[in-house]
Amino acid sequence: MKLLVVEDDHSLLEVICTVLKEEAYQVDSADNGTEGLLLAQSKVYDALILDIMLPEMDGLKLVKTLRGQSISTPVLFLTAKDSVEDRVRGLDVGADDYLVKPFAITELLARVRALLRRGHGRNVENIAYLGLSINPSIYDGFVDTHPLNLSQKEYELLEFLIRNSEQILFRDQIFNRVWGFTSESGINVVDVYVHYLRKKLEPYGYADVIKTVRGVGYMLKGE
């Protein structure tokens, strides 16, 4: 699971990111709303954790902008304000949950887990495409009932393709989602793993559903 944390208190940002990484999440971070929006617009995150009071662009405007662009990534707001009016404002712009500072790390982790469960529940219809499916509980993909015996990165690539089926995905968008912005691998690793995935789909006649969009990226689309 890949998370984005946007918080301008650097000590708190470091603590949150460290704890989330210890829980085996992939984590990116930003300390202002403008950078946070640019990262969130890449649509590579499973959930966003946002402070409301941010420099350059506040969290409310950030989420309102995302929702206006039909980006439905689940959002957990962090804020020092605890009035009913403040909570309603956050929920009205499209946030999913609200956590008041100071908070216990255990509660933050519980809220994140709940947010991720709800987020994947929204996309349950996209867990399969044509005869392809993924099973997150065992980290493998299937053609009909035949397991593909995927590696971790092959699985994450197939999951991203299925959840965004019939949409063009840029190569750098796939790279950032599967390998991460800070990965030392080159972007050509995307092409290598698409090749690996096609080879595993080929015996079942599904290699061609991963379309190459020349000069752009890839798309999962049946004939």
CA distances from 149 to 16, 135, 141, 197 (A): 34, 11, 7, 10
pLDDT digit string (tens) for the chain, length 223 residues = 899 999 999 999 999 999 999 888 889 999 999 999 999 998 889 999 999 999 999 999 999 999 999 888 999 999 887 666 767 777 788 888 888 888 888 899 988 988 887 765 544 444 789 999 988 767 789 999 899 999 989 998 999 999 889 999 999 999 988 887 767 888 999 999 999 999 999 999 999 999 999 999 999 998 7
Q: Is the pTM of this model over 0.75?
A: no
Go through 89-126 and write b for each residue having 16 or more CB atoms within 10 A of its CB, e for each that does not. bbeebbbbbbbeeeeeeeebeebbeebbeebbeeeeee
For the chain, list the domains and their CATH numbers.
Answer: 2-122 (3.40.50.2300), 127-220 (1.10.10.10)
Nearest to 1 by CA among 197, 155, 185: 155
In contact, 221 and 165? CB cutoff 8 Å = yes
